[in-house]
Amino acid sequence: MRDKQWEQALYDHQHAMIKRLDSHRKKDKTDSLTSDEIMAVEHAFQLLVASMLDLAKYVLKNHYQVNIENRSEVLASLLEHKEVTFEQGEQIRALVELRDKILYDYLEQNFETLSEALALRRYGLVEVLTKEWTARLGE
């Protein structure tokens, strides 16, 4: 069953995370960040990717009646149901891998890799997919 209020709240949340990431991306690269600022950017990125996966699970459940238990199963199901193109799937895979690296390999310094991904604004795909998926639910 659709929850339009949740969908709007999720979209608003994603928009806020994207604004934070855009703000970091536009900063002068010669300015060094504090460890708190680095953590804030990493957290915003993690939340954005997690929200994309949760929305995908929601779409798969509400549009295809497919129950996905783990976020790790989401991409395969999206591809199976042709909810994303191969290229979008590869972008999602890269975002998820980077998120997992930050989340589970937290003792390593992965911020340079994240900064490179942010410079390309790869996270912009999340907003595009959110709009497409919520529109599909309305059909």
Domain at 4-137, CATH class: mainly alpha
Residue 136: what pLDDT?
Answer: 83
The type of residue at 19 is: K
Q: Which residues of the chain have pLDDT under 70?
A: 107, 110
Residue 1: what pLDDT?
Answer: 78
Domain boundaries, the chain: 4-137
Residue 61: what pLDDT?
Answer: 93
User: Could you tell me which residues come within 8 angstroms of residue 18 by beta carbon, excluding any fewer than 6 positions away?
Assistant: 48, 123, 124, 126, 127
Residue 32: what pLDDT?
Answer: 84
For 102-114, the pLDDT digits (tens) are 888 776 776 888 8
